[in-house]
Amino acid sequence: MVSDSNRLIAGRYQLLRELGRGGMGVVWEGHDTLLNRQVAIKEVLLPDGLPPGDRERQMVRTVREARTAAKLSHPSVVAIYDVVEDGGRPWVVMELLPYPSVEQVVATSGALPAREAAEVGRQVLSALKAAHAAGILHRDVKPSNILLSDDGRAVLTDFGIATAEGEASLTRTGMVTGSPSFLAPERVRADDAGPPSDLWSLGATLYACMVGRSPFERGEPMATLNALLNEEPDYRRIPPILHPILRGLLRKEPQDRVDAEEADRLLAAIIAAKPAYADQDVPERKQGTGPGRALLAAAATVVLVLTGGTVAYFRTASPAEGAPRTAQPAAASSPLPSAATPSVSPAATPSETPTVTRTPTRGRVAPALRAWKSGDGWTIKRPAGWRGARGETYTEWTRRDGDAHLGVQALYVNLDPNQIIRDSEERLEQSADQIVSRGRRTVEHQGTTAVEWEVSWTAAAAATAGTATDEGWATPGIRYRELRRAVAVGDTAYLLSWTVPEAQWKRNRPLMREVLTSFNVRA
């Protein structure tokens, strides 16, 4: 289709460049020569050899799609400008949105923070309420059909299989449209499907914001549909504060699901929840978002989602300060999440048991180690007296003088230790100065092969960088030495990090080894 570039559609719309391609169409960046504005143009691809009757039905369906979506005027719904026929194919002219999608936010950089996921969910819910009030069902709510701006605006796209209630279906009898892992059970059973089916898909989408996939995805369509009909979601990796909304939306029977008003109330409660701290004496620090979002947003191409296809984007997050509490997502490629947005989900204070382990070093006595048990299934011995904080997927401890740091980050998308370390190197290059790599090596960790990277770096001044650094706890200008260890266990990978001022590296090395080797994932 590259040869179609600069082609004029319907004597008005100029094709500039292809933005994306899916199973049922191609999206182009275009120019409206009449109104002199940039637009997105969706070219609907019709299969070769399609009988004239089916071709006509597809044309009617495309016109209906445009007519359906054009009824809606809502900040979270992509605007439809026009629908035309050219070259025997339908073309839909839409608002051009320079935003990537939720799917790549998670796939590239890990889970959204609970509050941000709730914000996205609430905006999409508002769009669905407007659609439902107009008698329109979306029928394909999923992460790749939600675009995110860097200021938090979420836009629901691709009403390509939307239907108006009461309008006859144009699909073949028995044909199920939509993405299998995000379908509502009643649609799989071919029962009557109304607004609750879109709410189910919203619930599956919110779940995917946390773990990168639908709760029912099994890798094969029939296995996925069977899980959707007969299995319950696994909530062990979902922050507890999200459990009520997910359990309410993901009930098998539509009449048992929460309605839009109750869903909105539950999402609003997540957004308004206060962060919980265990160490109240920890001084408040300026929260940093890190450079990841801005850099990735700048690099992203303008995208629009296609029916049957996907396009997507970024996300960086940071751990909250305070004692370990609840999970805050960190970028899957981030070496050390930044000083973070506080977690919003309440959790029991973690059980810590002091040990009698003390390691003498050059006449000094190392601090006692305390065993800390995570609710996510791992344990570690951390130095007693260090201040802790926990986010949705990241846990950290900082020495009381603020110049030594221990971090444990859980990663659910990227499980390759070598790639995790490579991503870690790239991220550090963006947030620190005078980086000197001191070697990468393969080591054994609790019977599993792990990858270590030792590195020295100088903390950059946030004012110089123009943004907060990932190492939000570090003192600008201080030179640090750090060991990062990536290890994969089951369906989760972990990035462990130990950082101290370079001048203290040798005397802290025995303590570091004891701490890192103590990390264990319960079977």
- Hey, which residues are catalytic here? 140
The two structure tokens encoding residue 484: 């990062």
Element (H, E) at 121: helix 114-133
Q: Would you say 20 and 309 are in contact if contact means Cβ atoms under 8 Å apart?
A: yes
Phi, psi angle pair for 378, to nearest 5°: -130, 160
Rg of the chain, C-alpha, whole Å: 25
496: nearest Cα among 469, 473, 514? 514
Phi, psi angle pair for 253, to nearest 5°: -95, 130
Single-letter amino acid code for the residue at 335: P
Alpha carbon distances (Å) from 199 to 137, 221, 257, 355:
10, 21, 8, 49
Q: Would you say 326 and 342 are in contact if contact means Cβ atoms under 8 Å apart?
A: no
- Give the number of C-alpha atoms closer than 13 A to the C-alpha of residue 74, restricted to the C-beta side: 22
Separation CA 521–CA 523 (nearest Å)? 6
Q: Would you say 188 and 220 are in contact if contact means Cβ atoms under 8 Å apart?
A: no
369: nearest Cα among 387, 352, 351, 382? 382
Separation CA 469–CA 457 (nearest Å)? 13
The two structure tokens encoding residue 226: 């069977």
